[in-house]
Amino acid sequence: MRIVEYDHNRICNYGSPGPADFSATPSAVTVGSYDGVHKGHRMIIARMVAIAQSRNLRSVVVTFEPHPRRVLKGIVSGPLGLLTTLDEKIGLLAGLSVDLLFVIRFTPDFATRSSDDFIRNILVGMLGAKSIIVGYDHAFGRDRSGSRKTLDTLGCELGFDVEVVEEVRIGNEQFSSTRIRVLLDGGKIEEANAFLGSSYMVSGTVIDGDKRGRDIGFPTVNLRLSDPDKLLPRGGVYLAQTVLNGTAFMALMNIGVRPTVSVEGIKTVEAHILGYSGSLYGSMMSFSLLKFIREERKFSSLEELKMQIEKDKKTVELYC
């Protein structure tokens, strides 16, 4: 999957300041924030890819960074609660047979563009859209003025067709990022993963900690989140998995304020990786959360905490 970035009327390779060798190519296109890349999103993307392959078109996902809510709401108090960082989103989309990810740097100036301008000059003019596939509730452009009617009208003029993918449900429940956030806030990680279609990820850079885990025989990696807007699920201990040098390792991840060893009340993320030894400081790591094990609580001593972690390890062994 190729990734390019559109920033202030300039197209460049993602992560590189240099211009991209880029031209409009007949494409099937879908547009959205796609936060979480959940099963509802995947239905839309799969339909777009199928249309592209059947008509010999390029398949293109258009998304935005930062999330439009960060810009449209101005100064937002606290994290937005995003389900995926941009890098996590890229990793998930890379497995969906998408040819091109077109990342638009969302700015106040870009937010003023009309839906007509966006469709005409970006989707068609830059990307060569011949087919546009959207979800049933999709709207875009300034004040979300772009609708199915807008697309149909411009499609007749500019030569593209439109397909709307209808709502998808699990039982009576709708696939939505909002519903997944509610599940994560409740620590219902397995249910959230069922809606996502993949395991919820927590990613960050390994930073130096206070080494309390090492003192009791359970060294941990301490993570600084790669995006402060990322949603952390309910505090507690989770069964997680990470991959190091191509090898998968199970881990115990603690999300919370560590009441036994800290009085600061600052929420932290740390993980004890089972069966791994070695320094990981400075590394960028991603953990997939698989199961909520228990609530975080204050223990009367470090010895009692150590005994509980031993029990948590046995829970991991039973799961495996």
Task: Give the residue extent of every domain in the chain.
Answer: 2-167, 196-319
Q: Which residue has the higher pLDDT, 182 or 316?
A: 182
CATH number of 196-319: 2.40.30.30
Q: What is the pLDDT of residue 171?
A: 67
Mean pLDDT, the chain, integer: 87
Q: Which residue has the higher pLDDT, 268 or 300?
A: 268
Q: Which residue has the higher pLDDT, 215 or 192?
A: 192
Q: What is the pLDDT of residue 140?
A: 67
Tell me which of 35-39, 71-75, 194-198, 274-278 is least confident.
71-75
Residue with token string 């989770």: 238
Task: For the chain, give the number of residues.
Answer: 320
Q: What is the pLDDT of residue 217?
A: 65
Q: Which residue has the higher pLDDT, 268 or 98?
A: 98
Is the whole model's pTM more than 0.75, yes or no? yes
CATH number of 2-167: 3.40.50.620
- pLDDT range class, residue 308, cuts 50, 70, 90: confident
**Helical H runs in the chain?**
39-54, 68-72, 86-93, 108-111, 115-117, 148-158, 177-185, 189-196, 212-215, 302-319
Q: What is the pLDDT of residue 318?
A: 77
Q: Which residue has the higher pLDDT, 131 or 81?
A: 131
- Taking alpha carbons only, the member of 297, 296, 170, 309 closest to residue 233 is 296
Residue with token string 């990820």: 201
Q: What is the pLDDT of residue 268?
A: 86
Other CB atoms within a 10 A radius of the CB of residue 215 amount to 12
- pLDDT range class, residue 255, cuts 50, 70, 90: very high
Q: What is the pLDDT of residue 169?
A: 67
Q: According to the per-residue pLDDT averaged within each range, which of 23-32, 71-80, 298-307 is highest?
A: 23-32
- pLDDT range class, residue 149, cuts 50, 70, 90: confident
Give Cα 150 distance to the centre of its chain: 29
Which tens digits make up the pLDDT trace of 10-67?
A: 899 888 777 888 889 999 999 999 999 999 999 999 999 999 999 999 999 999 999 8
